[in-house]
A and B are shown apart, each in its own frame.
Chain A
Amino acid sequence: MEEQEIISKVRKCVATALGRDEDEVQLDSVLSTDLEAESIDYLDITFQLEREFGISIQKDELFPQKIFQDEALVKDGVVTEQGLAYLKEKLPYADLEKFSADPKVTAVPELFTVQLLVSFVQTKVAA
């Protein structure tokens, strides 16, 4: 599948899940802040992507919940070395440089942009 087609379909999925117009969903849009996505929306986005691309997304494969729950990965609101390694493993295409400089767990949702979803889908459909 062509990259443009993937981008267009991912934007459609996110717009559908969040009840927004596609113009509001840009590649650099951050799901949590720009698009005000809430926890239920991440599940909806996962369903929309599965349905649109015919892919199967494992639990925690796209949105790794463990980072918020596991004590070894987060301490006092700061992501640990182990947590950073976990994020690098789960999100190999994410740019973690800026995040690593100040790895607050509350900043994790900001990593999730539409572009990240596009990169994820590209990896999945190529597999």
Chain B
Amino acid sequence: MRYVLVDRFLEMEAGERARSVKCVTRGEPFLNDLPFYPPALVLEALLQTGGALSRAGSEAGQMSVLGKVSSASFPAHAYPGDRIDIEVTIALSRPEGTLCEGVATVDGREVGRAEFMIVLLPPEMTPPPDPERDAKRRLLARALGLPHAPKENA
């Protein structure tokens, strides 16, 4: 399975708040045999939204990785045909990373909630710039509705 687990960003206030959606469909290979979308991947959608949000508020080209999930809960489930609405806010941010809070709902029903830390990697820990790869990354960002980071060169 590919690993772009957010479909579209509806709102991106760099360093503050982001809203996105993830559609659940049988058109995607399901990770296991449960009738509903794996909660671990609901978490991943929250993390990917938080990651994009953290990168948008940071230096251009910084990579984000998951540092810690302080807590997560999955009170209800998302089924094929559902659209998961995601909202992540940054509670605190520093050069080293961010503390995020995220909620995922389906028609107002909460299917996931998490508090997590995103680490922003220093340049020496990330692969060197690669024009082809960076062009693909920009294409993907555009397809997901992510705005150009103002600090990034087009």
Query: Interface of A with B (CB < 8 Å)?
Result: 16, 40, 43-44, 46-47, 50-51, 57, 59
Contacts and interface: CB of A to CB of B under 8 A. Distances in A.
Contacts of A57: 94
Interface stretch (B7-15, B37-45, B95-103, B145-153): B95-103
A16 B121 CA distance: 24
B117 A44 contact: yes
Contact of A40 (B91, B92, B95, B119): B119
A40 B67 contact: yes
B92 A51 contact: yes
B113 to A, nearest CB: 17
A35 B117 CA distance: 20
A7 B95 CA distance: 27
B94 A59 contact: yes
Interface in B87-121: 91-92, 94-97, 99, 117, 119
B70 interface: yes
A23 to B, nearest CB: 20
- Chain B's interface size range is 10 to 19
25 contacts: A16-B70, A40-B67, A40-B68, A40-B117, A40-B119, A43-B67, A43-B94, A43-B96, A43-B117, A43-B119, A44-B67, A44-B68, A44-B70, A44-B117, A47-B91, A47-B94, A47-B99, A47-B117, A50-B92, A51-B91, A51-B99, A57-B94, A59-B94, A59-B95, A59-B96
A47 B92 contact: yes
A54 B99 CA distance: 15
A16 B119 CA distance: 18
A48 to B, nearest CB: 9
Nearest to A42: B96
Nearest to A16: B70
Contacts of A47: 91-92, 94, 99, 117
Nearest to B96: A43
Contacts of A50: 92
Nearest to B99: A47
B70 A46 contact: no
A44 B70 CA distance: 9
B67 to A, nearest CB: 5
A43 B68 CA distance: 10
